[in-house]
Structure 1
């Protein structure tokens, strides 16, 4: 899809680029979700999937520590470094998180940072579906 967007001059807007909070590093296999939190019904947020997917969060965290940034900023900066027509729209309910997300635009990852993310991320097989089966059927229509 991305090569077609590039050829046609169409922008791409990734939805939930921080994985509903998972890529921020604030959620792990021991996190409990409150009643009504949609993540409690999403297979990717089962404790087993979160444990299996932790390698990706750890990767972002290592780079964030080196760059004096947050994992969320590294994830967003990586997206922004891909193509100028990729514009992520992270959601937030907090002004402090909004400021954190905006600051990702000023984080310039090095070629080594980008290569490290790409090299390791392709080896990580993300576990768990993005949505419960009943919702995924609606999306797939």
Structure 2
């Protein structure tokens, strides 16, 4: 294992309430070895914010046009996740993006998401997710 030769400080991989592949093997290994985890695309490339819907199409320049999860069928099938995030956001009077980020922050203290933005108000919104407390049942969503 690379970590025994040169200690690994952090691992970066896609992870969100929508894309949970690292949960079975990567996150337990990170916890065991004391390695930080940096989720990229914590907002599901806009999907978890509710800004993307199943009727939307993407131009060929948009990378989402090449991802199977952004087909209309996949977006429709995954709309339940967006609805759940929105339900929690409405209940807490916050944005869906804040809920999605708070969910990651609540999982483990060594999980630090990196949402991307080009807008200062979105950066401020994202930072406010650190102050949002989710209940254990909200964190343990299926």
| Aligned match of 2:8 | none
With a CA cutoff of 8 Å and minimum separation of 6, indicate the structure with the bigger relative contact order: 1
1:100 is aligned, of 119, 125, 128, to 125
Long gaps (5+) in structure 2: 1-25
Higher share of residues assigned helix: 1
Q: CA RMSD in A?
A: 1.2
Higher share of residues assigned strand: 2
| Aligned match of 1:70 | 95
Long gaps (5+) in structure 1: 122-141
2 CA distance for matches of 1:111 and 1:42?
A: 32
What TM-score do you get using the length of structure 2 for normalisation? 0.77
Query: Is residue 50 of structure 2 the alignment partner of residue 28 of structure 1?
Result: no
2 CA distance for matches of 1:44 and 1:88?
A: 21
1:44 is aligned, of 65, 69, 73, to 69
Which 4+ residue blocks in structure 1 deviate beyond 3 angstroms?
none
What TM-score do you get using the length of structure 1 for normalisation? 0.78
1:83-109 CA-to-partner distances (Å, cap 9, x unmatched) read 000000011122121111111111111
